[in-house]
Structure 1
Amino acid sequence: MITLTQIPAKTSTKTLTKKISAAFMLLMLVAAAATAQIKPGAKLPGFSLPDVNGGTRALSSITGKKGIVIVFTSTVCPVTNAYNSRLIKLAAYAKQNGIEFMAINSNSTEDVAEIVAHSKSKGLNFSVLKDSDGKVAASFGASVTPEVYFADGDFTLLYQGRIDDNQREDKVSRKDLEVAMQEHLGGKAVSVKSEAARGVPIKRM
């Protein structure tokens, strides 16, 4: 004979709600940790990635420079492609002034052959590195393309975010990345250290 004490007590709605809320919060914290944005003043995360044109580039191997610009890009993102001509100009300006300039492609849907073909067809004048598993993008906190990170020669982040304030070049009123480089080269503190990047989400594995 089964007694009342042998019947499992039903989980109360209140208890169940608490458990669901706790699980949801844990998932949110894990997701936030995976995409935590590095802040101006912090050091860039180290990396070593293959250059799509051959060889490997490591952050630690970049020495004797006045700074470094890293742009997370894509071959198919319409926002990134709207900036191709501006990226070419910015890369030329950076190189003329002793600043390293490179791009990182972290989209799992874009292979090396596609990136090489895109670079050649657009006449890109900077290296593109392939972050196949998206771990470098995650370590930076990069979430969209294009998104830029400008650091000094010691890899201390000076500016993070958008390239400028308008996808249409003829409508731009503030050139955030260019201004940040000019201020740094002029011995001034970067006045605007971060502006939200707007673009297409990076497709990680």
Structure 2
Amino acid sequence: MARTPSNMLPLGTIAPNFKLKDTNSNNEYSFEDLKGSKGTLVIFICNHCPFVLHIINEIVMIANDYRVQGMGVMAISSNDVEKFPQDSPELMTEFAFQNKIDFPYLFDESQEVAKAFDAACTPDFYLFDEQNRLFYRGQLDDSRPGNGIPLSGTDLRSAIDALIYNRSLKEPQKPSLGCNIKWK
């Protein structure tokens, strides 16, 4: 199991715009279409990564908790599906259904969106403010497969709370850690 950290895109970076197909609805959406009134969470995931599988339920809970507060949420898979067919759009739809992902799960076939975000791993989290400026990039929490630390989502939840309630972030942002994006 690879252990690739986030690249930690500079805070304040403007969210790259894109148009990608949502494997849940078969509609195409841009960042602008999906952004929230209070901010926007973009999560790079895939279907087979053990790090994603470890936290997917917490991701869904966070999405459900914060979308009602004006947070836009979307997930993106950018893996090369020729080398990793388990990440194909058809299986993304199935994965979303099995894991109760009812927010857009977008397929980045060209991998241009992952490159624009400087995404490196799955999971990789990017939280943008209402002006589309990067407010947080980093980990969900300290839990990893097999390390015995319970899932809490504290790092990401604290960042979203700080954004929504106009607070400053207290701790340094730690990079996420996971499987590397499977580049073509």
Q: TM-score range by the shorter chain?
A: 0.7 to 0.9
Which residue does the alignment assign to 1:83? 55
- Ranges of 4+ aligned residues in structure 1 off by more than 3 Å: none
Q: Which of these residues, 128, 132, 149, is aligned with residue 126 of structure 2?
A: 149
Q: Which of these residues, 23, 42, 52, is aligned with residue 70 of structure 1?
A: 42
Counterpart contact for 2:58–2:153, Cα < 8 Å:
no
AA of the residue aligned to 2:15: L
Deviation at 1:194, TM superposition (A): 2.8
Q: Could you tell me how far apart the structure 1 residues matched to 2:162 and 2:18 are?
A: 27
Q: Which has the higher contact order (CA 8 A, sep 6+)?
A: 2
For residues 88-122 of structure 1, the C-alpha deviation after alignment (integer angstroms, 9 at most, x for no partner) is 11001121210001100001122110100111111
Q: Which of these residues, 17, 23, 26, is aligned with residue 46 of structure 1?
A: 17
2:30 is the counterpart of 1:58 = yes
Which structure 2 residue ranges, 5 or more long, are not aligned? 1-5, 82-86
Count of matched residue positions in the alignment of Structure 1 and Structure 2: 171
For residues 4-52 of structure 1, the C-alpha deviation after alignment (integer angstroms, 9 at most, x for no partner) is xxxxxxxxxxxxxxxxxxxxxxxxxxxxxxx975211111111111111
Aligned CA distance change for structure 1 residues 114 and 38 (closer, same or farther; 3 Å): same
2:154 is the counterpart of 1:175 = yes
Q: Give RMSD over aligned pairs.
A: 2.0
Which structure 1 residue ranges, 5 or more long, are not aligned? 1-34
**TM value normalised by structure 2:** 0.85
**TM value normalised by structure 1:** 0.77
Which residue does the alignment assign to 1:29? none
Q: Which of these residues, 98, 106, 120, is aligned with residue 97 of structure 2?
A: 120
2:163 is the counterpart of 1:204 = no
More helix by percentage: 1
Q: Which has the greater radius of gyration?
A: 1
Counterpart contact for 1:160–1:193, Cα < 8 Å:
no
Q: Could you tell me how far apart the structure 1 residues matched to 2:67 and 2:88 are?
A: 27
Which residue does the alignment assign to 1:166? 143
